Every structure is written in C-alpha cells, then in structure tokens.
Amino acid sequence: MDFLQTLNAFLAHLKLAKGASPHTLRAYQLDLQAFTQFVAQTEGDLRAVSKRLIRRYLAHLHEQKASTRTVLRRLSSLRSFYRYAIREKWIAENPLEEIESPKKEKRLPVSISYLQVELLLAQPDLSSYLGLRDRVIMELFYSSGLRLSELVGLNRTDFDQKNLILTVFGKGKKVRQAPITQTAAKWLVNYLAHPERNLKTKEHAPELDATAVFLNKLGRRLSARSVDRNFAAYLKASGLSEKITPHTIRHTIATHWLEQGMDLKTIQLLLGHTSLATTTIYTHVSPKLKREVYDKSHPRAN
C-alpha cells in the first residue's frame, strides 16, 4: 500500500470508526498533505521518514514562522497517522516517538465592552430578511456564548421555545443545554416565522437543509464561512477593531458573566468547557474584575 492509499484509509478510519466531522477530516488532510509535500522536496521516500526528518520538518515550520498552535496541530495529526500506520503494519517504527511538542502559547482571550456589542448588533438592516437573520445570529452569540460551528449546526428541533433552551452539539459531539435570553428568543421566533425564510425552504432546500435554523439566501443551511464573511462586513461598517471575530463574542459574554458575579463552574457548563482551567482564564481578562478584587482585598483601598 502506498502513502496515498494509507492516507485515504486513515481518513476513512477517522470518519467511520472515530466519527470525525468533515471539518476535522479536512484539517487532518491538509496537515498531512503539507508534510508529504515537504518530504517530497527533501527525502522523497515517505516509508523512510525518520526522527531526523521530523525534526527538520519542525525547523522548516519555524522558518516559515508557523505559530505554536499550527505546529502542535501538525504534530498531533502526524502522531495519529503514524500510530495508525504502525497498527496496520505499514511501517515498523514510529518516527514521532521521541519528538517533544513545543509548549503551547497561553493567549488571553480578547473581549469587548457592552457598548461595543450594542454597536455591532445595530449594524444589520432589519428591513431585510437576511439582515434580520444576521441580527438573530449576533444575538445568539452574545446570549449563549455559542461557538460558530455550534450555531450553524443548529436545527429547529434544538430550540425549546417554552423553556428558552438550545440543545447544542459542541466539540467532540458533546451535547449541552444552553439557555438563551428572552430577547434572543423573540428575535429567533420572528426569524423562524419570516415568510421569505419559509418560502425559500419550500422552494429550494433539500429535506436535510429544511431542518436547519439558519439558511442562506438560497434556502440552504448557512455555512460557517458565510457567517464569518458577513460578520467581517458588519465589523468594518461599525468601525470597530478588525481583530474582533464571532469567537470574540463568546469570550465577551463569558467575561461579562464573570463581572456580573456568575461563578466559574456555571460558566464552564454554559460554554461547554471540558476543564475548569479553560474557564479560569477569564479571571485574567477583565480590568473591571481586577479592580474590584483589588479594592476588596487591599487594606487601604478605601
């Protein structure tokens, strides 16, 4: 079996045995293709990959100024692939065995103020059907701290209008119940009942897309890329920093929850974090929270 066949078998294994999503499969494929291109330009023999070559590849990534996050992801993909190749007896030794991973960069999440959130929310044109849809999307981001992939994956049956709850399928296909505000629920109900939305669904959408909450202008399920593109346009119109993304809104509501007195354990559950340590990082973000803790703690603060 040549490398390409092994790669395809590995991707099929991830899809069938591990239940990997299309997004995950695409990421693995891109990572492994980048490595094969490097090998082709150097050794040329993918069966003879050595620890020395892996280290040369890591040096190559460093020269290309790849971020630590990218390097860690590439290494993770290679480790998974070579474990599979060993198991299938395609190779005898794993070249990744003694390769150490670089330490992950600890970046503090970026958040914005409530006034900036309001400015973003005011950008969509509510006189249009698509403008209404985009306002609902923004409301849900801020209401419940949804990830982008979670938002575009929502189906109509995931919305419990009576109890104001969304059933959300997060990372690793973990399911959680995400409360939404009454304000966000009203926007969502209005959007779902919009005549143009339902007309598009009946005319154009296949059965699977008809179950989706958010649809594009053709009546198909809205993609994450489209949401990103629309968000960038609204961001530019608002005059706010170009570094703000939909994920920034997730960080923002987490920070605002903390500032309003919500405990970390509850925030962890609402955001779907596996570890409380991930949630704890928000305690380092808020200048307001730091000031409050300082004033409460310092003997001469008052």
Is 22 within a domain?
yes
Tens-digit pLDDT profile for residues 27-42:
999 998 898 888 888 7
Residues 6+ positions from 197 with CB-CB distance below 8 Å: 129, 133, 191, 215
Whether residues 181 and 224 share a domain: the answer is yes
pLDDT at residue 220 tops 70: yes
> Is residue 301 one of the residues assigned to a domain?
no
User: For the chain, where are the alpha helices, taking DSSP H only?
Assistant: 3-16, 22-41, 51-63, 68-87, 114-121, 129-144, 148-152, 182-192, 195-204, 207-210, 224-238, 246-259, 264-271, 276-280, 287-297
pLDDT of 6 over the 70 cut: yes
- Coil vs helix vs strand at 165: strand
* Shared domain check, 81 and 210: no
Of 19-23, 214-218, 224-228, 296-300, the one with minimum mean pLDDT is 296-300
Tokens of 54: 């892996």
- Do 61 and 153 have their domain in common? no
Tell me whether residue 108 is in a domain: no
Tell me the pTM: 0.65
Percent of the chain with pLDDT over 90: 41
Kindly state the helix (H) or strand (E) to which residue 99 belongs, with its residue range.
Answer: none
Residues 36 and 125 both lie in one domain: no
The mean pLDDT value of the chain amounts to: 85
At residue 299, the pLDDT reads 60
**For residue 45, is pLDDT > 70?**
no
Closest listed residue to residue 248, CA positions, set 264, 233, 231: 231
**Same domain flag for 24 and 144:** no
Quick check: 182 pLDDT over 70?
yes
What CATH code is carried by the domain that includes residue 225?
1.10.443.10
Report if residue 98 sits inside a domain: no
The answer on 260 and 173 residing in a single domain is yes
Residue 4 has pLDDT above 80, yes or no: no
What residues are annotated to the active site? 147, 171, 247, 250, 273, 282
Domain that holds residue 20: 3-87
14 and 49 in a single domain? The answer is yes
What local confidence, expressed as pLDDT, does residue 297 receive?
53
Q: Is residue 252 part of a domain?
A: yes
109 assigned to some structural domain: no
pLDDT score for 127: 94
Residue 12 shares a structural domain with residue 82: yes
Confidence band, pLDDT 50/70/90 cuts, at residue 247: very high
In a domain, 93, yes or no: no
- Are both 288 and 230 inside the same structural domain? yes
Same domain as 256, residue 147: yes
- Identify whether residues 129 and 180 lie together within a single domain: yes
CATH number, residue 69: 1.10.150
Considering its fold, how many domains does the chain have in total? 2
232 and 275 belong to one structural domain: yes
CA 147 to CA 190: how far, in whole Å? 22
pLDDT of residue 289: 60
Residue 107 located in a structural domain:
no
Indicate if the pLDDT at residue 75 is higher than 70.
yes
